[in-house]
Every structure is written in structure tokens, then in C-alpha cells.
Amino acid sequence: MRIEKMKVMDHSLKLFFEHGFIQSKKPYKQVDGTILLEKINLDFCFVYLLNNNGKLGEFYGQKMTLTEFLKRYEDFSFEVIGESYGYNFAVYNGYLILPKQNDFNELSIMICYEGDMIYETDV
């Protein structure tokens, strides 16, 4: 799935997708929709931005708050390769794709939330 926008609104985070996502029930159709994470705690939401193209060996990177990331990268897409969920956390791993750049960077986003995760669709 590819996230094309994230928006913080009233202590929630809404994820917007380029092509939606796959329904979890038969016939497993791809549908347009968003995900809303309720009651996020921005003090514990972090982004880890690593070097280009997932190269092996030494690497460099930055850790920043989700708020700082969203201010710095207003126009981006995030190709999610892996996702995991634990106690009050959603973690998305993948690649940051920026306009007018041929390279992409490894990216991990940790979202701390205490509310529900709501899949919003038009169907």
C-alpha cells in the first residue's frame, strides 16, 4: 500500500492512500478508503529516515517527531512494505518517495495511539 498523505486532526491521524487497500473479507477487493488512528500521542510518534535504497553496511539517518516530518515533507509518498501492531503502537516500514528525486530512502514510522484504528471506505 502507498500512503500519499497523512493529516493530524483533533488528536487523530488520518492516512490517505494512493490506491486504497484490500478488504479483509471475501472477495478481497481493492477499495478506496482511509485509516483513522484515534487518540494519537504526538510526544511518542517518531520517524526514522535512513539512507538511500536500503544499502547494506554502514548507514546514516535521522530520528524526528512525526510533526517535524509532516512539516518537512509536505509532498511525499510512502510505499509501505511491512506493518506491525503492538500495545498502543502501529509501525510502518518502507520507502519514502519524494517528487523530483530518483532515489528513495528507507523509512519507519512509529505511531502511538490509545483509541481505535478505523478503516473508512465508501462501500
State the pLDDT at residue 80.
94
Per-residue pLDDT of the chain (123 residues; tens, 9 = 90+): 899 999 999 899 999 999 888 877 888 888 899 999 999 999 999 999 987 766 677 778 899 999 999 999 988 999 999 999 998 999 999 999 988 877 788 999 999 999 999 988 876
Beta strands in the chain (DSSP E): 2-9, 12-17, 21-22, 30-31, 33-37, 46-52, 61-65, 77-86, 89-97, 104-112, 117-121
